Chain A
Amino acid sequence: MNAPSLVIEGLVRYFGGLKATDEVSLQVRPGELHAIIGPNGAGKTTLINLLTGELASDAGRILIGDVDVSDQPVQQRVELGLLRSYQITSVFDSFTVRENICLAARRRRGVRLAVWKPLTRDLESMQVAERIMQQCQLTHVADEAAANLAYGQRRQLEIAMALAAEPRLLLLDEPMAGMSAAEGVAAIELLRSLKGQYTIVLVEHDMNAVFSLADRISVLVYGKIIATGTVDEIRAHPEVQKAYLGDDEDA
């Protein structure tokens, strides 16, 4: 199994006086799909940013497999196979879908001195790109500029780029945000097909998706994990119902 575990111990991050991440500890097993839910402003995206290294943590440890990456920069974490998708679509708008995906697929070999042969003629990147485009149903828009895609397709491209970079540990930040019902169903199918291949941390508002996909769920409220458990355990958890499911009617 190529999927590493992810261990978070006592992770803390302040924004000024606000404790956005408050002693978060979490163990994600290899190959597990672990969902993180919580109301708006609970610090879900902050947690993802801490895990990728885009934000520095003030205390605590992060381990990918056996490697302590707490003080390592983004690049070295990516090296270990940690890839993410963004809540706010961050594709390269003026590039075509194929170019976007090839760019991601190229990351393991780098681009040093690769100044002549076009990126999209690079056999290795191209094979990965074709496979990923098929998987994410983007083949028919391969040569379309990312800017011209429909919203749902842009979201798919967002995920596709993370997949093309050959991750071992995937952090998906609300991959279904703003998708239509039909697009959401397709995305759930896609994520289901990924289960087991990678260790996945899924931050998502769509309860349907979370309850049908997750192996385990953690609930984050005001930067604190208030509960971790299986789908049924979380459904039944009184504090969760009070803090999240009860208060915050979600679509």
Chain B
Amino acid sequence: MNSRNWMRLVLPVLFIVLAAIPFVAQVVDEPFYVTFFARVLIYALAACALNIVLGFAGLVSFGHAMFIGLGCYAVGILSHYGISNGWIQLFVCIAVCIVVAVLVGSVCLRTSGIGFIMITLAFSQMFYFLMVSLTPFGGDDGLNIYESSNFGWFELSGSSEVYWATWALLLMLALFLNRLRTSPFGMVLRATHINPRRVDAFGYSVFRIQLSAYVLSGVITGIAGFLLANLTAFAVPSYIAWHLSGELIVMIVIGGIGLVTGPIFGAIVFLVLEEVLKGWTTHWMLVMGPIITFIALAGRNQFAWLKAIFNRPSTAGAALKTRPNGELP
């Protein structure tokens, strides 16, 4: 019970701390921090979205960078043609993400396991090379965005605006996912991960439920891309590269699969670590690799690595260990 109360405080404390960052940055006169943490929050948003399929449904999508790219290019291409109305851009971003997610998801979800990983990767790579070869939109060099998304009363014109927009969206998403987790839809979605056959035997359509989750996840990831384009004023194919898909997965693994705030912590830890190590040595990946390996080994669920450090007993871990496997036939 005690640790559950402690868990409840995690979300408000986290968002209060995040809300303080722009003010701290102002006090220490380091506006770079706002830009940096805006990027962190955008990745956190994408990682949370990916966690809907990866954490809840156990579907390892290795192509979520595609949706970030779709969001980026929705802003980039529309503003290229002089449409900087944020509402139109957002509408196009969401509509395109829905259409692509339904099409891609319908194909990918016919497979599972390694097949699913490979096909999602294949689709995002196809989109990557499509954007590389589309020279009207900058090709490999990307597309500069000269006008940021304008929502009328609110314009994503600077790092600080993007920061607050992302902060608010991330908070809403975290609260929503908290509810989703135990809602009928969320429970059935998680159940498809545990035992899809049984879910089918109750008359739920595993395919439709997984597809809905995939589309939801894709749209939110697309919105993260939308914000990223505004932050960097740039839409470039490297946002669609598979590294980014991989990094999102690593963030979730660091933060803990199945926990709503996990991916947010994962994104913070990953990007801060990267930034610190980069400033320290050019061979930062040599250090980063072992750290991530340690975290992944130390705990495969829900902050077990933190708990291991503080020596807290993990109830989730205990439940897994007691799973009886030797049932009689």
Contacts and interface: CB of A to CB of B under 8 A. Distances in A.
Contacts of A52: 201
A186 interface: no
A112 B209 CA distance: 9
9 contacts: A83-B202, A88-B327, A95-B190, A99-B187, A106-B188, A111-B183, A118-B179, A147-B319, A154-B324
A92 B58 CA distance: 14
Contact of B329 (A88, A110, A113, A125): A88
Interface in B157-206: 176, 179-180, 182-188, 190-191, 194-195, 197-198, 200-205
B201 A116 contact: no
A84 to B, nearest CB: 6
Given A90-B197, A115-B179, A115-B185, 5 more contacts: A90-B198, A92-B194, A92-B195, A113-B185, A147-B319
Given A75-B203, A94-B319, A111-B209, A122 B184 contact: yes
A78 interface: yes
A64 B265 CA distance: 53
A131 to B, nearest CB: 18
Contacts of B324: 147, 151, 154
Interface of A: 52, 54, 74-75, 78-79, 83-84, 86-95, 99, 102-104, 106-107, 110-120, 122, 125, 145, 147-148, 151, 154, 161, 165, 177-178
Interface size of B as a range = 20 to 34
B319 A145 contact: yes
Contacts of B201: 52, 54, 74, 78, 83-84, 90
A147 B322 contact: yes
Contacts of A74: 200-201, 203
A119 B327 contact: no
A93 B180 CA distance: 19
Contacts of A120: 182
Contacts of B182: 118-120
Interface string B310-329: 00000010011011100111
Contacts of B186: 115, 119
B202 A78 contact: yes
Contacts of B316: 94
A92 B323 CA distance: 11
A130 B271 CA distance: 47
Contacts of B328: 177-178
Contacts of A147: 319-320, 322-324
A111 B184 contact: yes
A114 B198 contact: no
A114 B202 contact: no
A219 to B, nearest CB: 21
The 4 closest A-B pairs by CB, nearest first: A78-B203, A178-B328, A114-B184, A111-B184
A153 to B, nearest CB: 11
A103 B185 contact: no
Given A92-B191, A103-B191, A107-B202, A119 B320 contact: no
A111 B188 contact: yes
Contacts of B195: 90-92
Contacts of B194: 92-95
Contacts of A90: 195, 197-198, 201
Contacts of A87: 329
Interface in B195-243: 195, 197-198, 200-205, 209
Contacts of A106: 184, 188
B254 to A, nearest CB: 21
Nearest to B315: A145
Interface in B55-107: none
A240 B54 CA distance: 52
B327 A89 contact: yes
A145 B195 CA distance: 15
B203 A148 contact: no
Contacts of B190: 92, 94-95
A165 B185 contact: no
A178 B326 CA distance: 11
B296 to A, nearest CB: 20
A119 B184 CA distance: 5
Contacts of A75: 200, 203-205
Contact of B203 (A54, A107, A154): A107
A83 B203 CA distance: 9
A113 B201 CA distance: 21
Contact of B183 (A94, A115, A165): A115
A119 B187 contact: yes
A116 B179 CA distance: 5
A117 to B, nearest CB: 6
Contacts of A148: 319, 322
Interface centre among A115, A117, A119, A147 (most CB of B within 10 A): A115
Contacts of B188: 103, 106, 111
Contacts of A122: 184
A87 B328 CA distance: 9
Nearest to B200: A74
A90 B184 CA distance: 19
A228 B309 CA distance: 64
Nearest to A113: B185
A117 B322 CA distance: 30
Contacts of B185: 111-115
